[in-house]
Amino acid sequence: MSDYEYNTSKPEKLLTGYGTVRGAELKSIYTEIEPMTPLSQIENRFGRPSSSGPETDHIDNCLRFLRTIDMVEQTGEDVLNPMNRDIFPGFELSFEPKLLHHVRQQTGKQSHLAAIYEVAVQEISSDTGHYGVRRVSVDDLVIKVDRETDYDLEWREEKILMWTNLFAPLGAISFSPDHDEILLSPSRAMLHELLSHHQRHRANGNSILAALEWIDGDFFPAFSRTGGQPAVHVGVADVLESLVADGALSLTGMSDRSEVVDLPMGIDNSQTPADYTIEAAPDRPSYWYPLERSERRYEA
Amino acid sequence: MTQMVRNWDRDVVEEFIKPESQQKSPEVFRETHVEIDKIRAEILRPHSGDDAFVTESQFRDAVLDSDLKDDNRIFIVKGEVGSGKSHLCQWLEYEINGYDEGEGTDDEHVAIHISRSNTRLDEILEILHAPIDKEYEEVNDISSLDPEDVADFIIQGLHTFYKGQGALRSFDLEEFLEPRSNADGFRTTLVENIEEYQDSVESEGQEQDIKEYLLSREDYGHICLSAFGKTKREDDVYPVVRRAVHDLLTRNIGIEDFKRELEDISEAYVEEGKRPVLICEDLTTFSVLKDDLLDHIFELSSGHYDVIMGWTTGWERENIDDALSTSEDSLTYMKQRTQGYLSMTDDNGQAYFLEGRSAPVVLVKAYLDAIKEHSEASAEVPEGTFDSVYPFNEAFIRHVYANLVQDGNLQQTPRILLVHVIAECLTSDVAPFEAVQNNSYVRQRPYLIGINEHSTPCLELTQWYALKHRGRLWLPTEVFDAFGVDTHGAAEKDGNVFFDTSFAAGDVTVIEREPGAEPTPERSDTDDKDEADEEPEEYESEDVEEETDGEDETEGEDEEEPPGPEPEVEVPPEDYREFQSWLMDGTEYASADRFRDGVVATLERWHDPTRLANENSTARNTTGIYFDRGSEPPVVIRGADSPASMSFEVPHGTENEELYRQMLHYGYADSFEDDANFDKLRGWATDKVVEYRSRMRRDIEGHLPEQMTVEEFVVLAHFLVMNIGKGETELSSELIFEEYRLEETSPLSYQSDVGIELPRGLEGAFDRTSNHTGDIGSLARGFFLLKKNVVDHERLNEAIKSVSENLNSYLSGLSTTSIDDLADAYRIGTTRNNSKKGFGKIVEDFSDLAGELEKVEQQVDVEDLREETDHFRRFHHLSHTQEELAELYDEMENALGPLNVTHRQKWREIGQLLNDSDSDLGLGDFRSTLNKIEDVKADDAISSIALLHEYQRSLNESAAWEVYEVFAEMVEELEKTEGSKVGDFRHQVESSTEFEVFRDARDSAQQTIGGCTNE
């Protein structure tokens, strides 16, 4: 694994300050950026045309955000280059987990965006066990994040909303504004992709503990409890259960193994599985990333 | 097919279980009698103690606590139909008179039992006289009388004896009795009622349908309305009229004065040293004699009876106020004069004495034991395994009892339990759990184990028989063996079969018992006051989880089970059962609405399900295409709803139980269960919604030209109006976001003065589409923007490219497209609720426009335009400068001057213009436009329209056109005049064309014009 490289000249603005930045345009813009891509090319393609040329304000916002999380760098000559393309040699990550990875790599104050997710998964306890909760309201999360983190900033609803609005289309969570409900289950596509990469390309490929530790450390929090036997968050467990039900995953318990995870419920006949085998995912919208769920892709 | 070994005879069942207690022989009665140990006593005298409840013996003792000459003593017993009133009365009769001849409590008391089946008046009189030796006059059988005659007799009697009497003094009886043709005449009503009364007397043995009154208060109201025009509910008149009618009827059949008769009978009893205990099981039996009976007995000193009067709760509620001809509150009046006022059932219609959980079991066991005892059949059956109530078990009886219904209401009475369920089961060919499935007296309860994993017999057996221990369901293996039911892979241990509780089981009661433990102890110890004092235990009807009640039986072992939060709203068990049936076979689902609500909620949780637009756009208020039919997304529960195209179909299937159950729950509780796998719900909704949108797209695009996508239609439509409005010919992303405007250069502008004839329909077609230009623009934003100012480059580019490449085929395809069968429900809007405008109409109008543009292509020839501009070409010379033209003008003006035709304002203006060195004639533009018209290959509508724009624009902008126009006019004017000079001018001007066309001619023309200017 090549080292993660931090952008040496990046904007100072807080990540949660990019309240209007969304997954769809980040993905489109990022995907367009090859080495030595002129800024004007991006602006011309994605800026809404107007009588005075393309609208560039929001494009610039997106690029600043991507620069802040070390996905893109910009030279003095207004040329753009992608960064950290090969940090996982051997396989290419989709944009969605890649962005999560970059958010998770941020240090200092800018780690606050990833911290929201951590608090949601690790710090909200349920009445029925140590596996966290499936759903949380924005209000509750504001309070919880304010209480559980120690950043020198004022947590407001807008910051949490920035996180939900950014992460939901990426398939990290879901958000139902009408119900003020954040669903803390990643998309099946995300979990399936990461479990596949892990199985094929990483040490201890078959270990579900190793896989979830990798995911938890590099992408998004998967454990509601990390001390002792790691407990899989119920939102993640739900998705594992769906994958198993659809034949895309099998879990195996081994009585002689201690490297196991603790599931909130028995899945595939085991509540403390050790190994997993990932199979091809069904070709259904529920297995596509949210941004890929166009009906145009649907084959009747 | 299930099996069942019988250790009883079916015909014996019928001997023991009969609808009426009286139908049983005393031995059978005694054998099956279960002590009625809980009767609510609001009043009971004498009774020691202040307990609210008494036993049958305490009741009996109170009744018998009378001396020969005591005044009338009245005991009222009320209760629901079938709650054991008549059983109690029958028991009382046997207790007083003895089960065999010659027995009896004492020599004095004698029970006179008028049961519900004794509805004939002659019969009642006979029973009253039976124990004594007293002559009495036989009475007529009411059924032998002619209703018309009786009615006439009564009317005559009313006229004769009652008119103007007492309370009727100010009542217009004449008018009231006046024959009327309509149904509400007094006579018609009376005849009908007499017939009904006769019928009810005829059909003996029936309960509850004896005709109460020959004139009900309702009848009285109707008659008054016909007679007086208003429903006189004069309280003091109705009872008097009714009473009079009844008196006249009884007199007609030979009972002159029943009240008097009762007094005489009482005397006779006293004379014979007997104390009559008059047991009137159901007061309604007395019908027309009821008034007299009540009058007599409540006149306490008028006789020496002990009277037990039964009536149903419903009767008391509806009729008690009219029961006595007293103006006081009848019930209060009665209560003040009774020795006892007792209730058999509680407010929910449940018999008090069966309240204890095992009481129904004890009742059934008593009957089963007697039936088996008297049966010839014998078979080895594991009675113990079945809690000694084979072929039932404790759980079965308790659940059935808790779910007894009549006419849709809970009716937990012994009669329904025994007659309609137990007897039915015992005489059925199939096992009880199968027999109760279609029993209309038993409210269904859900299956308790996974319906996807087990056979129907196994589901049904566990549904009624299963017990619960530590969250799992279990039953002895012997039970399955006894009925030949396959347990299909369920875990077996120590002779018991265990099942995982399906999630449904949390909502319904299952009896908690540890394997090997004894059934719930019987409530044999009825003297235990403490137990009688207990609060009535709650029943399944209230859907209370019994788990927490089970402590007595399992000695605290339940502590390990997490208590589980108390759900606030639950799916009613019968609805859940219906849902399970639908899951299994996909038919019949009456309560599907709640489920549908949940399905809609699931679809809408994470999606705008019927919207077709750029699904990744977060731009606000952009337009999409909606399928908008009905008030919510169209969901069809397959099997329950009729199929509809373009709906979200929800197929049945037991494998979906867990998922659908959440949606069902939502329909009742407005929320999903906390432990729902939300990813499953989200995944289901996502698959459904994307599939649905794909169908929307296919449906819509099926009505567009071949290969054309919705996006391409939007691009093409916008392009067409931009071409006509602004003369655009190049498709670009800029153009797509540019606003439409009708410029004055458009050939369809009212200012247009290009002399080219366009297809007649073009203007109208364009007017119609121009109503949609705003919608097309917003659709473009809805499909091609990711955010307010960010373009979905890929999608837009693809559409532009395809439209550019296929422009001609798309135009001709669009012109012939038909949207006739495109659903009207496709509408555009920013939300489903505000989507009003039909998308089909837009396509239709653009289709018409495309058709007209096709005609433009055929009709509009650039050659015409060339012809039109020919004269400009003729007069124009490439080297013309403003100066030269000014001189030419002056010369012509001079020539024309003497002819007096130079007054034209326009000419003068041109002259001034030409002579003004600051003016710009636009000669260059004029020239290039002329050249364009000359050279262009506009063989398609788009280019033609654009060329017309260009020509118009040049006409508007460049004065040169006017200059040459004026020259042409001047030449023409000159031509009209004689003179050689004219020919010269014409030659001078016209030769310029030749110059342009023919090199040779150009030279000489140059000379001529050059000569002209040099002169």
Tokens 């013309």 sit on residue: B880
B569 pLDDT band, cuts 50/70/90, is low
User: What beta strand segments (E) does A94-197 contain?
Assistant: 135-136, 174-176, 181-183
pLDDT of A32 higher than 50: yes
Cis preceding linkage at B391, omega within 30: yes
pLDDT of residue B553: 37
Mean pLDDT of B866-885: 75
A269 shares contact with chain B (CB less than 8 Å) = no
pLDDT tens for B763-784 read 999 999 999 999 999 999 999 9
Position of tokens 């159950």? B661
- Contact of B395 with B464, CB cutoff 8 Å: yes
pLDDT class for B644, splitting at 50, 70, 90? confident
Nearest-by-CA chain B residue for A238: B677
H-type alpha helices, chain A: 23-32, 39-46, 57-68, 95-105, 112-122, 138-148, 157-170, 188-201, 208-218, 234-245
Answer whether B694 sits within 8 Å of A185, measured CB to CB.
no
- Predicted confidence at residue B982, as pLDDT, reads 52
For B192-224, how does the pLDDT look when each residue is reduced to its tens digit (9 = 90+)? 888 888 887 776 544 445 667 788 888 888 888
* Two structure tokens written together for A234: 């119920």
A52 has a chain B CB within 8 A of its CB: no
Q: What is the pLDDT of residue B171?
A: 82
Per-residue exposure over B516-548, b if at least 16 CB sit within 10 Å of its own CB, e if not = eeebbeebeebeeeeebeeeeeebbbeeebbbe
User: Which 8-state DSSP code applies to residue A31?
Assistant: H
Give the amino acid at B936.
Answer: V
Note the Cα A159 to chain centre separation in Å: 17
Query: Which residues of B, range 888-927, sit inside 8 Å of A by Cβ?
Result: none
B-contacting residues of A 186-245, CB under 8 Å?
Answer: 188, 235, 238-239, 241-242, 245
Q: What pLDDT, on a 0 to 100 scale, did the predictor assign at position B1009? A: 39
User: Are the beta carbons of A47 and B794 separated by less than 8 Å?
Assistant: no
Asked if the Cβ–Cβ distance from B615 to A293 is below 8 Å, we say yes
Q: Is the pLDDT of residue B141 over 50?
A: yes
For helices A95-105 and A112-122, the axis angle rounded to 10 degrees is 100
Residue B843: which residues within 8 A CB-CB, separation 6 or more? B703, B704, B713, B817, B819, B822
Which tokens in the block code for residue A26? 């980040």
| Residue of A61, A234, A295 to mutate for B, most B C-beta atoms under 10 A | A295
Q: Say yes or no for a CB contact (<8 Å) between A49 and B617.
A: no
Does residue B964 contact residue B982 with C-beta atoms inside 8 Å? no
Sign of CA dihedral B499, B502, B504, B507: positive
Residue with tokens 């049936």: B581
Residues A273 and B665: beta-carbon distance below 8 Å: no
A113: nearest Cα among A5, A19, A9: A19
Please check the confidence at residue B892 and state whether its pLDDT lies above 80: no
3-state secondary structure of B351: strand
Please, is B904 exposed, middle or buried when counting C-beta atoms within 10 Å of its C-beta (0-12, 13-18, 19+)? middle
CA separation for the pair A249, A280 (Å, rounded): 8
Disruptive mutation site among A20, A25, A44, A136 for chain B (greatest number of B CBs within 10 Å): A25
Chain A residues with CB-CB distance to B693 below 8 A: 295, 298
B966 — pLDDT class (breaks 50, 70, 90): confident
CB B682 to CB A300 under 8 A? no
pLDDT band at B753 (very low <50, low <70, confident <90, very high): confident
User: Encoding tokens for residue A245?
Assistant: 């039900």
Q: How far is CA A71 from CA A10, A100, B576, in A?
A: 11, 11, 53
CA distance B176 to B426: 56
Q: Which residues contact A143 (CB under 8 A, 6 or more apart)?
A: none
pLDDT confidence bin for B1011, thresholds 50/70/90: very low
Rounded (10°) CA dihedral B412, B416, B418, B424? -130
Q: Is the peptide bond before A273 cis (omega within 30 degrees of 0)?
A: no
**Three-state DSSP class for residue B611:** strand
Please tell me the distance from the alpha carbon of residue B1009 to that of residue B887, in angstroms, as a whole number. 10
CA within 13 Å, CB half, B88: 36
Q: Classify B406 as helix, strand or coil.
A: strand
**What predicted TM-score, i.e. pTM, was given to this entire model?**
0.74
B100 conformational bin, left if phi > 0, alpha if psi -120 to 50, beta if neither: beta
pLDDT at B695 over 50: yes
Which H or E element spans position B309?
Answer: strand B306-312
pLDDT per residue as tens digits for the range A240-299: 999 999 999 999 988 788 889 999 988 988 899 999 999 999 999 999 999 999 999 988
Question: Is A262 touching B (CB cutoff 8 A)?
Answer: no
Contacts of B564 (CB under 8 A, 6+ apart): B506, B545
Q: Which residue of A has its CA nearest to B685?
A: A286
Residue of chain A nearest B615, judged by CA positions = A294
**Contact in structure between B154 and B176 (CB atoms under 8 Å):** no
**Largest CA-CA distance found in chain B, in angstroms, rounded:** 167
Say yes or no to pLDDT of B549 above 70.
no
ipTM over 0.90: yes
pLDDT of residue B902: 52
Written as six digits, the tokens of B73 are: 């003593």
Distance in angstroms (rounded) separating the CA atoms of residues B954 and B593: 67
Between residues B527 and B765, the one the model is more confident about: B765
Q: Which stretches within B876-922 are classed as H helix?
A: 882-896, 905-915
Q: Nearest CA to B71 among B268, B274, B309, B266?
A: B266
Structure confidence by residue, pLDDT tens digits, B114-135:
887 777 778 888 888 888 888 8
Q: What is the C-alpha to C-alpha distance for residues B897 and B891, in angstroms, rounded to an integer?
A: 10
Of B87-96, B567-576, B1001-1010, which has the strongest mean pLDDT?
Answer: B87-96
Cβ contact (<8 Å) for B682 and A235? no
CA separation for the pair B960, B924 (Å, rounded): 9
Of the candidates B618, B680, B790, the beta carbon closest to that of A242 is on B680
Mean pLDDT, all residues of chain B = 81
Say what the alpha-carbon torsion angle B746, B749, B753, B758 is, to the nearest 10 degrees: 80
Q: How far apart are CA B615 and CA A230, in angstroms?
A: 37
Q: Which amino acid would we find at residue B553? A: E
Q: Is B786 within 8 Å of A24 when comparing Cβ atoms? A: yes
For residue B150, which of B250, B285, B286, B227 has the smallest C-alpha distance? B250
- The Cα of B815 is separated from the nearest Cα of chain A by a number of Å equal to 25
Q: Which helix (H) or strand (E) holds B468?
A: strand B467-469
Residue contacts between A and B (CB atoms, under 8 Å): 124
Contact A295 B693 (CB under 8 A): yes
Amino acid at B416: I
Whether residue B461 contacts residue B393, with contact meaning beta carbons closer than 8 Å, is answered with no
* Residues linked to residue B791 through DSSP beta bridges, in sequence order: B785
Tally of CA atoms within 13 A in the half-sphere of B50 that contains its CB: 0
Number of H helices, E strands in chain B: 43, 22
- Residue B452: both structure tokens together: 């996807």
Bridge partners for B276 per DSSP: B110
SS3 B310: strand
